[in-house]
Amino acid sequence: MAFSKSDIFTSTEQSIASIGRAFGHPARVRILRLLQNNHEYTSIELSRFLPLARTTVAQHLKVLIEVGLVDYTIRHPKVYYFIHTDMNATAQELLDLILAK
């Protein structure tokens, strides 16, 4: 009999695993470090700090947004990305651990 993840693992366990996967690429860790301390950047600005194309940076930002680590605001014509200030406690603990110097 096949089981789905939701049958076996709690939503908290699944959330922690998703956040862990988001930390699984060094570009995403670098993006989070750039955004820490209340910095806001556009994807173009972030791509200047990384040896990646702007579209690749945008893909990494999408992953970080999906797990609730990064949020954005639109100030036409630009989109600014920042650390999500209202993330759940588990995500905040993991973020603090990863970004500790």
Question: How is the chain split into domains, by residue range?
Answer: 10-99
- For 31, other C-beta atoms within 10 Å of its C-beta total 26
Higher-confidence position of 33 and 91: 33
**Taking CA 50 as the corner, what is the angle to CA 25 and CA 34, rounded to the nearest 5 degrees?**
80
Tokens of 7: 């049958």
* 20-47 pLDDT per residue, tens: 888 899 999 999 989 987 789 999 999 9
Per-residue pLDDT for 1 more than 70?
A: no
Enter the pTM of the model.
0.81
Q: Which CATH architecture has domain 10-99?
A: Orthogonal Bundle (1.10)
